[in-house]
Structure 1
């Protein structure tokens, strides 16, 4: 390792700036940090002025810093790309504590209006009201093809809407 008081030249300053640009390109330092560190690198006069610029960065470091130490302290954090190793003989994880389900917001459309429309006008009008245009068109075509005998389906659908409610086109429950 070289002495921190050893004076450096333009070549060393430019190598430090180039390596800082590499670290910046890899996303290890922010643009503001990069600008500050490069400014400090060009203002440096000794090796001791350059060392702090690379202290918190992994390799590559300038070659004139000397050989990096062979022993690096192990970190407790695993790399992000390491897969988790599951023990097949480990007991199953504890169940999550019960959390009540999030309430689903009601639709601004009413199940009563939809059900009455299905019964009074039995050709899919209630489904058009709820925003389910495809189902409404299907009920309309069934009524037209069967000359009105297919109206039993929209009537039963209306009774089911009144009894159980239903959902609008966005999947929200109809208002009671």
Structure 2
């Protein structure tokens, strides 16, 4: 059976319409073309009816319009390297340098968080950083015990000195 004669389902029609909307959003097709192509996509019954809708458009195209893959047994195989002791004359392989991924910083400030913790010692600085659980705990400790007011103040000094993390685990900006 030829691939253009294969029947398609609702999922294929919706994927084609979604990708046509992307092309429309990028300005590649006019509103009239978009409307006509989406109408044709939803009325398509076979792959052959969807193929012309993307013929003059660049990628992305629906994945089901791609040519079929070779079966696993027909794909070329890769020769695995032989492992064993290196000859004495062989140069030692160089280690691959490790480049750590940069950690994005929060848009919240450690200075603002620390000052809020000291000036309003009810966990307000922790609410500011997005750590509402810790803020609520500090609020309850301060309300239930008068001496508990020291915890948010010490926490504020620690935020000013060392910084901290926001609710998503990003370091607070200076």
Structure number with the higher helix fraction is 2
User: Which structure would you say has the larger Rg?
Assistant: 1
TM-score (norm 2): 0.49
